[in-house]
Amino acid sequence: MSNQPIPSVQIRPLLERYGLRATRQRLGLAKLLFSKGDRHITADVLAAEAHESRIFASLATVYNVLNLFAEVGLVRSFTLEGGKTIFDTNTTDHCHFYFEDSGEITDVMVKGGKLADHFEPPEGYEIAKVDVVVRLQRKSAESKA
Amino acid sequence: MSNQPIPSVQIRPLLERYGLRATRQRLGLAKLLFSKGDRHITADVLAAEAHESRIFASLATVYNVLNLFAEVGLVRSFTLEGGKTIFDTNTTDHCHFYFEDSGEITDVMVKGGKLADHFEPPEGYEIAKVDVVVRLQRKSAESKA
DNA sequence: CTGTGTGCAAACTCTTTGCATAAGT
DNA sequence: ACTTATGCAAAGAGTTTGCACACAG
């Protein structure tokens, strides 16, 4: 509850624009999330990072904040096989490469048009979200598992 | 451990073809999985169905069997947002519609070419799997959540 | 018979929740 | 001040695991 004074870059106005109260941990977590380019991060990793940066936020709070950010649209979340939830600071229309060997995740932009345009929703429904994860494995290794 | 005699349709040879020992619960679960067309099912639902059909298999065994089937390629598995693992008896190249209101899942066949062909894997990697889940919501309801 | 599969319950991981306290406007 | 957020620990869901017993080949 006694974090170091946070240099509130553009973070505070960002939170306010989304109608969120600028608390210490939200400011700190948002700074970690948005000050290093696009990130794909789990709650526990962000919590660990925060701790290293002397931004004290419990894991529960990290989850609360990330879920809140996802609700308002500051980040996007998706779930990996295995059940881990990834929070992605890139909220644009894109797919993901998942490197099975390293666990790394990278963005893949879509070429032709919006992702959702490739699908025709059934009558009465509209597309809320399209999650695409392309799982990659090393070539040389056994290619057939 | 004393299930009713299972009418081993084509199931037994199917298992044997995949190098799997034809145990009672594998036969029974496979029958449930493959005798009703394509299915999208979770372990606990399959376990419940099995119990109704007097095919006694513990939840742990259902998980073991489903994971085994997925390993050898009898079924495909993917994870939904929320972390639930779905086992899909359709092992062809396809995407999924997920109906947020009902929880139902349906297959969406791909139009132009293989799914994996839409992505160019980085040097040294090959595509192991492409998971596409299109989440659908009712049109009339609040479209912006 | 020999090895493998199964059942059960406990362990495990990831995530959410309840309640008292602390912080934000 | 008044309201909302946080911390902690416990609960919760989903899945895996260890070990003794049962079954398949």
CATH code: domain of residue A36:
1.10.10.10
Residues B59 and B104 in one domain: no
Same domain, yes or no, for B70 and B98?
Answer: no
**B105 lies in which domain range?**
93-144
The pLDDT value recorded for residue A142 is 52
Domain boundary among B43, B74, B105: B74
Q: pLDDT by residue (tens digit) across B15-32?
A: 999 999 999 999 999 999
Rounded to the nearest 5 percent, the helix, strand and coil shares of chain B are 30, 25, 45
Q: Which residues pair with B40 in a beta bridge?
A: B88
Query: Residue B108 and residue A99: Cβ atoms within 8 Å?
Result: no
Q: What are the pLDDT digits (tens) for B75-130?
A: 999 999 999 999 999 999 999 999 999 999 999 998 778 999 999 999 999 999 99
Contact B104, B111 (CB under 8 A): no
Q: Which two tokens stand for residue B53?
A: 């059909």
Does residue B77 lie within 7 Å of nucleic acid chain D, judged by its CB? no
Quickly tell me which residue has 């790394």 as its tokens. Answer: A104
At B141, the pLDDT band (50, 70, 90 cuts) reads low
Specify the DSSP element, H or E, that contains A50.
helix A43-52
Task: Provide the positions of strand C that have an atom within 7 A of a protein CB.
Answer: 4-10, 14-18, 22-25
CA atoms of A133 and A93, how far apart (whole Å): 13
Task: Report the amino acid identity of residue A21.
Answer: R
- Residue A1: inside a domain: no
Dist CA B27 CA B35 (whole Å) = 11
Protein CA at A75 to nucleotide C1' at C21, angstroms: 29
* Per-residue tokens: A6: 């946070």
Cβ contact A69:A76 at 8 Å = no
Residues 70-129 of A with CB under 7 A from strand D: 83
**Distance of C1' in D1 from CA in A19, Å:** 22
Residue A97 and residue B122: Cβ atoms within 8 Å? yes
Give bridge partners of residue B88 from the DSSP assignment: B40, B76
Evaluate if residue B1 carries a pLDDT over 60: no
For B71, nearest residue in chain A (alpha carbons): A145
Query: Does some domain include residue A47?
Result: yes
Domains in chain A, number: 2
For residue A105, what are its two tokens?
Answer: 């995740």
How far is B142 from B145, CA to CA, in rounded Å?
Answer: 6
Cross-strand pairs, A131: B133
Q: With a cut of 70, say whether residue B63 has pLDDT above it.
A: yes
Q: Do A131 and B130 lie within an 8 Å CB cutoff?
A: no
Q: How far, CA to CA in Å, does B111 sit from each of A79, A118, B66?
A: 25, 9, 29
Amino acid whose CA is nearest the C1' of C17? A60
Q: Running DSSP on this structure, what letter comes out for residue A33?
A: H
Q: Is the pLDDT of residue B73 over 60?
A: yes
Domain harbouring B112, CATH code: 3.30.1490
A99/A60 same-domain check: no
Distance of alpha carbon A84 from alpha carbon B82, whole angstroms: 9
Which residues of chain B neighbour A82 with C-beta distances below 8 Å? 79
Residue of A nearest to B83 (CA): A83
Listed residues A18, A41, A74: the one ending a domain: A74
List the single best residue of A125, A135, A142 to mutate versus B (max B Cβ within 10 A).
Answer: A125
- What does the pLDDT look like over B40-56, one tens digit per residue? 999 999 999 999 999 99
Protein-covered nucleotides of chain D (CB closer than 7 Å) are 4-10, 14-18, 22-25
Nucleotide with smallest C1' distance to residue A23 CA: C24
Which residues have CB under 7 A from strand C?
A 1-2, 21-24, 42-44, 59-60, 63-64, 67, 79, 83-85; B 1, 20-21, 23-26, 56-61, 64-65, 83
Closest approach of B89 to chain A, Cα-based (Å): 17
A66 with A98, same domain? no
Q: Are residues A69 and A99 in the same domain?
A: no
